Each structure stands twice: as structure tokens, then as C-alpha cells.
């Protein structure tokens, strides 16, 4: 395979300067109604009795959970099922199905015939129909797509304009919880007719040395007699280059601008520049936007793999669904940032949006925080997985959906690869291979700088049909036993683990005896956190580690999944009340499972990891075998039970688990203390950890991810609530019912405990602890001030934590 080489930059939201361009984000005063309504598009319609909501909004997240919602009798082909069974929590058991209406009003002061108005939707679930002042201005089908309409002709000058949006969510339309509503931002963009087109900027850096980078900027524009002036600034706001041109090719300017001594973007140093584009007619400024971008080079080479800025690295990635646990699918920057901070600490360097187009907020955070990104488009092509899935409009819509995905996001330096599909049934036969090439060609036309992959689970079929050979990068979902065969069969000289592991576990839950198992189920509908249980098609993490470490042609992995998500509760998708996944490295509350530390011990090479499991509260198991595992970046350690040595264990090549874990399989439980002492390469003790048997739960302990918040009505603090005994020892089995009160300049938003079987609603101010912990979300008001969260529970000492919110500078 020839090397695919690109140097690249980032498109972010346009910054507004003067009156040349204004962006109105429609957040407040939306009126919402669940169910179809006659005449809801009329300007005279009375919506005063509808619910008032803020957008982004997910109408279904407040539930309640209901077994009957989207109950499906189906055989899931992707899971290897041949017999149809009843699935009750596949889409989260939340009421997303049905029609929803949204209405809002906005005005554009000083509007005249020289202006152009764009109405932009960044995500609307699903099948949105858009009406303005009683007239339908357009519709879209794909709920994950960004789209816009030119509404200039429909605008009422200097008076209220009535916007109505109808959304239709069909049953049997998703394989996970898709959410419902205007779950991403809606914006009204007003500009001059002589202006920069929507998503019209494309920044790349096709030449980089330590002394010089060439920044290529293509800018599509509308108008005549135009001049473009571009100013590039560094991260501190200092001007580093200026270029002016009147040479236009068709409807686009193209500028090549030199940046001296460039600072490169990478996960370790996510340095961002900005380019301010000013459009003039003669000497009159007509439009201006600022675009952040990064300078970086990516290359994919046969046998050698993936390199960033000429350094070979592997993707240490996770897959993420778009829901944010207890707040649903409504996009929230604070929640996204917290996820990325947790993953950064684990050592992850990459994200795959699965299986849909990512939010713009997530991409901006990845640019800032240093995550490479695999941006995915579809879960279905022409052949269906679910009755009302994307296959219904694949032929008519796929091209425009890809065009919008690429044009809206192609300048983010975080994006290093596109995915045109995931486990599509089209993997069989020549028609599927042709579709794969057709989609890939669209990506290449819109962005010739990045390769395209598909997550393939039917690997033997793709070897036979030529499907896998067509792709720039062959992506394998699981199928660790076929990596060697695929590498030999495909011509690209590399394999990507586009989806790996699907290990299942429940935080703080341990099952005996401790053995590797597939599709293991228990009466409590939980999975063991010894991290040895997987699905029929999947595997434990260690098997992927071997491939990543031993095969240079394996260019990395994206683990399924970084966080638990709503819906798809395999292996319990036939068992009620399971309603969310068990795959996450972190649970639905964002609390790390034991598996977090297994990945951290291998991925985070800069910091010490020493984690011991299980907990040591096993009343009734005295004298029974209770294995102890240690996840650490040290190669050996000694275990003690109440001061008595259980021997030294060393990592070895005897098996995948022995290679990456330290395991004492014959330990017998006795209450007290277990301690692990880790040794360096010379055999010197360098770190130790203890776990104690806890007594009766006594008091609550609160810890916030941060205590300083923005007084914007959107920020969030995530407060971890734990219970300890009188000696401060965590109580790992506590399930106390807790209550939450927020006083001052904020409010209670939601809570989550990570229990995939809990039917308690997130938005109600009460919840049970799960494995001794839960998380409370506190949201500040728009006025600054002090906020106090109080958590109480019967028989427990009440705890409080103080937060403060400030106005942004």
C-alpha cells in the first residue's frame, strides 16, 4: 500500500466580529410537546401550555424505564444469534419512540435584502421537518447528521419569526438508546450575501519541517469583486503570518501561507493556531470568521503502521456512544470534558464515535486535550439490521450525509481517519464491496487527506468478496483468531482493531469460581469484575494486548467501550430489568471499573498503576478460595494476607493473562487486610497498596471533580458519593438509599450509580448506592454564588460539599 500522508488543521465555530456576521444560538424558551399536534406549524398556534425546555434537550431521559418500550423479538446477527428472542432493554427502555414538536421565536434586527440567513441544526433525533412562519423549509432523515437551510426568503424583517420542528422517532429504528429531541445545538447565522460559505473553509498543512510549515487554506465564498485577507495567530494570540489575495478559482480562494518554527499538534502537545479570514469587497469588510487549526502530519504505511509527526505510535483508543449516561444524549461540554479527563488519566490517546457522527463539542475538546479521532458515519448501509434503520434512505441520503460530516469537521486536527460504516450486512457479496468503494470515494473527494475504514465483523466474507481489500484501512471488529489470515489476505499491509474486547463487568461485583467464560449470566444480572468474562463473539483485553504488542502491522485498537451506555445490555438483553451496557471500562456514572486499571497499567506509561481486586468484605466466605488480582505497570509483586506472604508473582509469557496481570489464584478469604508490595526491575520494593475489611457503614464522603464552576446554567460538577465505616474504610457492598439537596446558586441535575439493572430515575433526588458509590451532578444557575450539596441516608452521617460559581471573564 502506498503511504497516505497528510498534514492538517481544525475548523471550529466562527468567532463573530462586528456586524458582518452574527450567530444566534437558540437555547432558551423552547416550547415542547410529546405527541402529534394539528396546526403546530401555524404562527397563530397557542403553545403556552407546552413544556418550556432548554435546547440541547433529550425528551426521553426522564423516563420512566418501561419493559414494554421497543420490546423486540429478534435474532441479533452481529452477535451470532440464529434464533429470535425477546429483547426488552435493547434501546434503554426509555420513552424515545413517538413524535415530538418544538417551537421557538427569534428576531433579526436590522435585517435587509443584503443579508443572508442560515438555519443550522447540529443534530435532531429524528427525521426532522422544519417549518418557519408556517411554511415548510425542509427536512432531513438522519438523526445524527448536521444540516442547514438557507432561510433568507422566509425571514420576516424586524419582527418575530416562528420556528417549528417536528421529530419522528420510530420503533425498531436503533440498536442502542438513540435519545430523542433537539439533542444538539440549533443556530441562526446572519451574514452578508458576499460571505464565506457554510463550512467553506478547509485548512491543511501539506509541508512541515522543524523550521517551516506551509498552511494551505481553501475558502469557498459567495459574491463578486472579492478579496481575502487571512491572519494566522499562535495560541497566545500573536500574529505569525498574514496573506492577502484576490485570485479566486471558481468560487474559492486558495492561499499557501508560511508559518515559521511551527509547533506541532499531538496528543502530548495539542497546540492550536487560529486563522482569521476576512472577506472584502473593494475595501469594505463583508465577512469575518476565526478558525482554530493544528499543524500535524499523519502517515499510514504498510508493515510500519501509523505515524504522527514522523513518530510511529499505536491507537490506544476507546469507542464511545453519544449518550452521557444520566443526562442522556443532550450534548454537554462539561460531561464530555470529564469523560476525556478520565480517559486521559487511563492513557487513552484516541476516540471512535460509535456508530454515528460526533458532536462538534466533542471534537473541539479532543483538539484541545489531545485525542486522535476516528469519525464514524453509519451503522447501516443498504441492507437492514433493524426494520426502520438507515437502510430506508441510504441510497438517497448517504452522499449528502457524508458531505456534511466531512465539510463540518474536516479541519479538526484530532480527526485522523474516517469510518464509513460499522458491521454492515453489506459485507457479503460484490454489491457490498462496490458500496464500500462508492462511500470511500465520496470521503476522498471531500477530504483527500485522510484514509477510510469500516468496522468489519464478517472477516471471512470480506476476504472472499474483496470488500476488505477495497478499504484504505481494514478494520477488524473482534475476530482475534483471524488477524493473521486477514493480514495475509488484504493488500494494505496493516490491520486496525476498529472494535476490540467487549469484555463485560459490573463495578465492584465479583463472582466465584474465577474462570474465563463466554456469555456467563448470574441471577443478579451482573457480570464479574475479575475481567475474565466476554461475549460469544468477543474476548478479554489481554488477547488484544498480545496483538498490539507483538504485531507491528496491527496499528492499534478501539476498545468497546470507554464508558457504559444506555441500551444493549448484553449478555442480559433478554433479562429484565437490565437496561444499559456492561461493556464499559467505566460505568454509566463515569466511575472506573477494575478494568480501567488494567488498561491504565499498559497505556499510561508515565504514571504508576498499582490496583488490587477484589474488595475484602466477604462475610460467609471465610476459608474459601478468593483469588486476588493486581493490575500494575510493575512486573512483579508480593501479596500479604494479614501479614502472611502469599508469595511473589511475576508477569510471564505463559498466557495472555499471565503476561499482563499478577494473579494469586489460591488465596483463602479471612477478614482483615490484604497488602501488595510491587518491585522494580532490580527487585527493590517501590510501591504498596492495602485493602481492609470494612465495618458497618457510618458516614458519607463527598468528592467533586471540581469546585469552581461557570455561572452559565450549563456547567456541571460531578460529585462522587462514597460510604465509609467509623475508621474511614470504604464499604464496598453498601446499597443505602440516599437523598440529595442542593441549596444556593445551583440545582440538582441528576444522579447515577452504575447499576445496569437500576430502574431509579436519574433526575429524581434519591438513589441507592451501588457497590458503595454513586455520582451526583450539580448544575449552577446563571447568577454567580455559593452552592451546597447535602447528601443524607438513613443511619448515616450526613455530608455536605460547597461549590462556587463565577461569571466568565
Give me the pLDDT at residue 72, please. 86
- Asked if 278 and 230 touch (Cβ cutoff 8 Å), the reply is yes
Q: Which residues are catalytic?
A: 423, 499
Give pTM, 2 decimals: 0.96
81: confidence class by pLDDT, cuts 50, 70, 90: confident
Count of structural domains, the chain? 5
Residue 76, in any domain of the structure: no
Are the beta carbons of 721 and 773 closer than 8 angstroms? yes
Percent of the chain past pLDDT 70, that is, above it, reads 98
Asked whether residue 590 falls in the same domain as residue 684, the answer is no
Whole-number pLDDT of residue 129: 98
User: Same domain for 166 and 247?
Assistant: no
Give the per-residue pLDDT at 121. Answer: 98
Arithmetic mean of pLDDT, 96-104:
98
Q: Are residues 731 and 672 in the same domain?
A: no
| Segment 519-576, tens digit of pLDDT | 999 999 999 999 999 999 999 999 999 999 999 999 999 999 999 999 999 999 999 9
Asked if 289 and 352 sit in the same domain, the reply is no
Question: Given pLDDT bands bounded at 50, 70 and 90, which one contains residue 9?
Answer: very low
Judged against a pLDDT cut of 50, whether residue 4 lies above it is answered with no
Residues 325 and 179 reside in one and the same domain: no
Single residue among 184, 211, 235 that ends a domain in this structure: 184
Q: Is residue 308 part of a domain?
A: no
In this model, does residue 239 exceed pLDDT 90?
yes
* Average pLDDT rounded to a whole number, residues 145-169: 96
Coil, helix or strand at residue 270: strand
Ramachandran angles phi, psi of 658, nearest 5°: -65, -25
Give a three-class secondary structure readout of 596-632.
HHHHHHHHCCCCCCEEEECCCCCCCCCCCECCEEEEE
Q: How confident is the model over 733-754, as a mean pLDDT?
A: 98
Q: Mean of the pLDDT values across residues 578-591?
A: 98
Same domain, residue pair 764 and 796: yes
Higher pLDDT, 734 or 808: 734
> Is residue 351's pLDDT more than 80?
yes
What's the CA angle centered on 135, arms 133 and 136, to 5 degrees?
A: 125
Q: Is the pLDDT of residue 80 over 80?
A: no
Q: pLDDT value at position 75?
A: 81
The helix or strand, by DSSP H or E, that contains position 274, with its residue range, turns out to be strand 273-281
Question: Are residues 321 and 245 both part of a single domain?
Answer: no
Residue 88 domain flag: no
Output the pLDDT for position 8.
36
69: in domain:
no
pLDDT by residue (tens digit) across 285-308? 999 999 999 999 999 999 999 999
The pLDDT score that the predictor gives to residue 110 is 86
Looking at the structure, tell me whether residues 448 and 539 fall in a common domain: yes
Interval 743-766 mean pLDDT: 98
| Total length of the chain | 809
Same domain flag for 487 and 524: yes
Report in angstroms the alpha-carbon separations of 34 from 89, 168, 583.
22, 10, 32
DSSP letters, 83-118, are S-EEESSTTTT-S--EEEEEEEEE--TT--TTEEEE
> What average pLDDT does range 328-338 have in this prediction?
98
The answer to the question of residue 797 being in a domain is: yes
Q: What is the pLDDT of residue 57?
A: 98
Half-sphere exposure of 562 (CA within 13 A, CB side): 30
Q: Flag whether pLDDT at 727 surpasses 80.
A: yes
Q: What is the CATH number of the domain that holds 684?
A: 2.60.40.10
Taking the C-alpha atoms of 737, 738, 739 and 743 in order, what is their torsion angle to the nearest 10 degrees?
Answer: 180
**393-416: per-residue pLDDT in tens?**
999 999 999 999 999 999 999 999
Residues contacting 59, CB < 8 A, separation 6+: 32, 34, 53, 96, 100, 180, 181
What digits encode the pLDDT tens for the residues 462-493? 999 999 999 999 999 999 999 999 999 999 99
Report the distance separating Cα 569 and Cα 87, nearest Å. Answer: 9
Q: Check which CATH number belongs to the domain holding 167 and give it.
A: 2.60.120.260
Residues 159, 32 share a domain? yes
Give the pLDDT confidence score for residue 32 in this predicted structure.
98
Q: Which residues of 117-136 are buried (b: 16+ CB within 10 A; e: fewer)?
A: bbbbbbbbbbbbbbbbbeee
Strands 372-376 and 350-353: parallel
Q: Is residue 441 part of a domain?
A: yes
In this predicted structure, what is the pLDDT of residue 142?
Answer: 98
Enumerate residues 6+ apart whose C-beta is below 8 A from 686.
634, 678, 679, 680
Tens digits of residue pLDDT in 665-705:
999 999 999 999 999 999 999 999 999 999 999 999 999 99
For all residues of the chain together, what is the average pLDDT? 96
pLDDT in tens, 257-287: 999 999 999 999 999 999 999 999 999 999 9
The 10s digit of each residue's pLDDT in 626-669 is 999 999 999 999 999 999 999 999 999 999 999 999 999 999 99
Reference 1, options 570, 451, 552; nearest CA is 451
Range of the domain at 105: 27-60+96-184
Same-domain status, 203 and 246: yes
Query: What percent of the chain has a predicted confidence (pLDDT) above 90?
Result: 94
Same domain, 119 and 235: no
Q: Which of 156, 184, 212 is the last residue of a domain?
A: 184
* Spatial separation of the C-alpha atoms in residues 277 and 225, rounded to whole Å: 16
CA distance 496 to 574: 32
608 domain-assigned:
no
Question: Does residue 86 lie within any of the structural domains?
Answer: no
pLDDT bracket for residue 18 (50, 70, 90): very low
Amino acid at each position: 500500500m502506498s503511504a497516505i500522508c497528510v498534514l492538517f488543521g481544525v475548523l471550529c465555530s466562527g468567532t463573530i466580529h462586528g456586524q458582518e456576521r452574527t450567530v444566534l444560538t437558540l437555547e432558551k424558551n423552547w416550547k415542547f410537546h410529546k405527541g402529534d399536534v394539528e396546526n403546530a406549524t401555524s404562527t397563530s398556534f397557542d403553545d403556552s401550555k407546552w413544556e418550556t425546555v432548554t435546547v440541547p434537550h433529550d425528551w426521553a431521559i426522564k423516563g420512566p424505564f418501561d419493559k414494554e418500550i421497543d420490546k423486540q423479538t429478534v435474532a441479533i446477527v452481529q452477535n451470532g444469534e440464529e434464533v429470535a428472542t425477546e429483547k426488552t432493554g435493547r434501546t434503554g427502555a426509555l420513552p424515545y419512540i413517538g413524535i415530538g414538536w418544538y417551537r421557538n421565536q427569534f428576531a433579526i434586527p436590522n435585517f435587509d435584502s443584503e443579508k443572508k440567513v442560515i438555519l443550522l441544526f447540529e443534530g435532531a433525533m429524528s427525521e426532522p421537518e422544519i417549518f418557519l412562519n408556517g411554511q415548510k423549509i425542509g427536512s432531513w432523515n438522519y438523526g445524527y447528521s448536521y444540516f442547514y437551510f438557507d432561510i433568507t426568503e422566509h425571514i420576516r424583517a424586524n419582527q418575530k419569526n416562528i420556528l417549528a420542528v417536528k421529530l419522528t422517532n420510530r420503533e425498531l429504528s436503533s440498536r442502542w438508546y438513540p435519545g430523542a429531541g433537539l439533542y444538539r445545538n440549533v443556530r441562526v447565522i446572519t451574514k452578508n450575501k458576499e460571505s464565506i460559505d457554510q463550512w467553506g473553509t478547509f485548512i491543511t498543512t501539506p509541508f512541515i519541517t522543524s523550521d517551516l510549515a506551509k498552511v494551505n487554506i481553501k475558502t469557498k465564498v459567495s459574491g463578486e469583486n472579492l478579496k481575502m485577507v487571512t491572519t494566522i495567530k499562535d495560541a497566545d494570540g500573536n500574529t505569525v503570518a498574514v496573506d492577502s489575495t484576490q485570485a479566486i478559482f471558481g468560487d474559492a480562494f486558495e492561499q499557501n501561507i508560511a508559518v515559521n518554527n511551527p509547533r506541532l499538534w499531538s496528543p502530548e502537545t495539542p497546540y492550536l493556531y487560529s486563522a482569521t479570514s476576512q472577506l472584502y469587497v473593494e475595501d469594505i469588510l463583508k465577512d469575518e470568521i476565526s478558525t482554530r487549526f493544528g499543524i500535524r502530519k499523519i502517515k499510514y504505511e504498510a508493515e510500519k503502521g501509523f505515524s504522527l509527526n514522523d513518530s510511529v505510535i499505536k491507537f490506544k483508543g476507546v469507542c464511545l456512544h453519544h449518550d452521557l449516561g444520566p443526562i442522556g444524549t443532550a450534548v454537554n461540554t462539561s460531561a464530555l470534558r470529564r469523560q476525556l479527563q478520565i480517559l486521559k488519566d487511563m492513557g487513552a490517546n484516541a476516540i471512535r464515535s460509535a456508530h454515528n457522527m460526533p458532536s462538534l463539542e466533542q471534537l473541539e475538546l479532543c483538539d484541545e486535550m489531545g485525542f486522535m479521532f476516528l469519525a464514524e458515519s453509519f451503522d447501516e448501509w443498504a441492507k437492514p439490521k433493524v426494520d426502520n434503520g438507515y437502510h430506508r434512505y441510504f441510497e438517497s441520503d448517504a452522499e449528502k450525509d457524508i458531505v456534511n460530516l466531512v465539510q463540518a469537521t474536516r479541519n479538526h486536527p484530532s480527526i485522523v481517519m474516517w469510518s464509513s460504516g460499522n458491521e454492515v450486512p453489506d459485507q457479503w457479496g460484490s454489491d457490498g464491496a462496490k458500496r464500500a468503494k462508492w462511500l470511500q470515494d465520496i470521503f476522498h473527494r471531500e477530504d483527500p487527506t485522510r484514509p477510510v475504514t469500516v468496522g468489519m465483523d464478517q472477516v471471512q466474507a470480506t476476504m472472499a468478496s474483496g470488500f476488505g481489500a477495497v478499504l484504505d484501512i481494514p478494520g477488524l471488529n473482534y475476530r482475534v483468531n483471524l488477524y493473521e489470515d486477514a493480514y495475509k489476505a488484504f493488500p494494505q499491509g496493516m490491520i486496525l482493531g476498529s472494535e476490540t474486547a467487549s469484555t463485560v463487568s459490573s463495578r465492584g461485583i465479583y463472582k466465584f469460581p474465577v474462570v474465563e467464560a463466554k456469555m456467563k449470566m448470574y441471577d443478579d444480572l451482573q457480570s464479574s469484575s475479575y475481567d475474565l468474562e466476554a461475549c460469544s463473539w468477543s474476548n478479554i483485553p489481554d488477547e488484544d494486548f498480545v496483538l498490539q504488542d507483538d504485531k507491528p502491522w496491527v496499528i492499534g485498537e478501539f476498545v468497546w467501550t470507554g464508558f457504559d451506555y444506555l441500551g444493549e445490555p448484553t449478555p442480559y438483553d433478554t433479562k429484565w430489568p437490565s437496561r444499559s451496557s456492561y461493556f464499559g471500562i467505566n460505568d454509566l456514572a463515569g466511575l472506573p471499573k477494575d478494568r480501567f486499571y488494567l488498561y491504565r497499567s499498559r497505556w499510561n506509561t508515565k504514571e504508576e498503576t498499582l490496583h488490587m481486586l477484589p474488595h475484602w468484605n466477604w462475610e460467609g466466605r471465610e476459608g474459601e478460595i478468593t483469588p486476588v488480582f493486581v493490575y500494575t505497570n510493575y512486573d512483579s509483586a508480593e501479596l500479604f494476607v494479614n501479614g502472611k506472604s502469599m508469595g511473589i508473582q511475576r508477569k510471564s509469557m505463559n498466557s495472555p493473562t499471565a503476561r499482563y496481570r499478577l494473579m494469586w489464584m489460591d488465596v483463602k478469604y479471612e477478614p482483615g487486610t490484604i497488602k501488595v508490595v510491587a518491585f522494580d526491575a532490580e527487585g527493590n520494593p517501590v510501591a504498596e497498596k492495602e485493602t481492609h475489611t470494612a465495618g458497618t457503614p457510618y458516614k458519607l464522603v463527598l468528592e467533586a471533580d471540581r469546585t469552581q464552576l461557570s455561572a452559565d446554567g450549563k456547567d456541571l460538577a460531578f460529585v462522587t458519593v462514597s460510604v465509609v465505616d467509623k475508621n474511614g474504610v470504604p464499604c464496598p457492598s453498601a446499597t443505602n438509599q440516599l437523598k440529595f439537596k442542593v441549596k444556593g446558586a445551583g440545582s440538582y441535575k441528576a444522579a447515577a450509580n452504575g447499576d445496569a439493572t437500576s430502574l431509579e430515575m436519574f433526575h429524581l433526588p434519591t438513589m441507592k448506592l451501588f457497590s458503595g458509590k454513586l455520582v451526583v451532578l450539580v448544575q449552577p444557575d446563571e447568577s454567580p454564588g455559593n452552592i451546597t450539596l447535602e447528601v443524607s441516608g438513613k443511619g448515616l452521617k450526613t455530608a455536605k460539599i460547597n461549590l462556587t460559581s463565577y461569571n466568565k471573564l
